[in-house]
Amino acid sequence: MATIVDIAVSNPDFSTLVTAVSAANLVDALNSPGPFTVFAPVNKAFEKLPPGTITTLVQNIPQLTRILTYHVAAGRYTKNDLRGRESIPSLEGTPIDLYITAAEFEVNNATVIAADIEADNGIIHVIDTVILMRPHWFHPIMRWGKEGIKSEGVVV
């Protein structure tokens, strides 16, 4: 079977991702045994980003690396494996939020448009939006919004 990188390279929909991964020198890492679970944004996902975003990242490889590693989790997780979990830790360090029902599979604010693409060294879930690390205040704010002002939720 093919590695994660092989699969990505073979699909023109991932061309931006592949460019980014090679710019960040992550090809070798993603070719290693792993296993990894990769949330792979399609080209359209990158196009959704405002102009200039990619330029800046490509100029700054460590920062690009950080964004890319946020799309990768250690271990091989299919959609079913992930069911019932709220999040999994990414390689970058920040957890990736999950929302999974029978019909839906969302990570952060991205929707998985093709789940469970098996590779030698892991598994790929194709997503329609580039996901970004949610800052630490994100969840308390969401909770506070949901519970209303009276909950006196404190932003940590």
> Using CB under 8 A as the criterion, which residues of the chain lie in contact with other proteins when the complex forms?
49-53, 55-57, 59-60, 62-67, 93, 108-109, 132-138, 140-146, 148-149, 152-156
Nearer to other proteins, 10 or 140 (CB): 140
Least distance to other proteins, CB of residue 119, Å = 26
Nearer to other proteins, 2 or 142 (CB): 142
* DSSP state letters, 23-78: HTT-HHHHHSS--EEEEEE-HHHHHTSPTTHHHHHHH-HHHHHHHHHTTEEES---
Integer Cα distance of 69 and 101 in angstroms:
25
Nearer to other proteins, 21 or 123 (CB): 21
The 3-state DSSP class for residue 147 equals helix
Least distance to other proteins, CB of residue 51, Å = 7
The tokens describing 116, both together, are 């469970």
Nearer to other proteins, 61 or 117 (CB): 61
